Amino acid sequence: MSYVLRLVLPDKPGALGAVATELGKVDADILAMDIVERSPDQAVDDIVVALPSGRQPDVLITAAEAVPGVRVESVRPDPGIAARHREWELVEAIAATPKDAVTILARMLPQVLRAGWAMIVRVETNGDGKTVRLLAGGGGVPNLEGVTPGWAPVDQAVVLDSEAPWVPDDWKAVGTEMAVAPLWDPDTAVIVGRPGGPAMRDSEVARLAHLAGLTSVVTGRSPLSIFAD
């Protein structure tokens, strides 16, 4: 089985190689790596590794943290190798089929950002209250029935507070980390969720904002009108 190992490590020569050596000692096969963030002192990398049948993922933590200065932020099952080329595939697919851009965005975002789900939602006013309309989804989209749109209106891409009052208890129970970005207007948004973490990094939020903005430009009109066709 393959896992995504998110590492925080010193940004210095040899650190990643040392981690690879330690992972090799527990028979972990490195399949892919993504650079999540870089700063002058440290790096955050996602490494996709395969373990032999019967090996428990906690051996990955022990192995990686055997390297001085390395911290494992999370280990989670790999939803599918999501190297950076997936982002270009998403961009190309959106540009090639503008009418399906919103659906494509929701379907491919979980792979691009290694999230559990993505959904395009529209907040609508009904009488004195507000309801949420699901326009498109990808991955294991949670049930939105009765969910209060505490994220709206959305003016810019941000990380959402996973413990906010509007977040359903079942989302909180599994530690769902989320980010949101506006899609065309403040009442239409794309939300990505990562049950069990890790937290959404600034670079990931920036990528979400870029892809949402690109989708808005390519469609050239409200996603709501696209779905009305």
Q: Examine the pLDDT at 195 and tell me if it is beyond 90.
A: yes
pTM of the model: 0.78
Rg, Å, the chain Cα set: 19
* 227 DSSP 8-state letter: H
Structure tokens at 29: 């096969």
Q: Residue 34's beta-bridge partner residues?
A: 46
Confidence of residue 23 (pLDDT cuts 50, 70, 90): very high
Instruction: Walk me through the domains of the chain, giving residue ranges and CATH numbers.
Output: 2-77 (3.30.70.260), 85-228 (3.30.450.40)
Q: Examine the pLDDT at 168 and tell me if it is beyond 70.
A: yes
Q: For the residues 44-59, what does the mean pLDDT come to?
A: 89
Half-sphere exposure of 166 (CA within 13 A, CB side): 14
If you count DSSP H runs as helices and E runs as strands, how many of each does the chain have, helices first? 7, 9
Count the residues in the chain.
Answer: 229
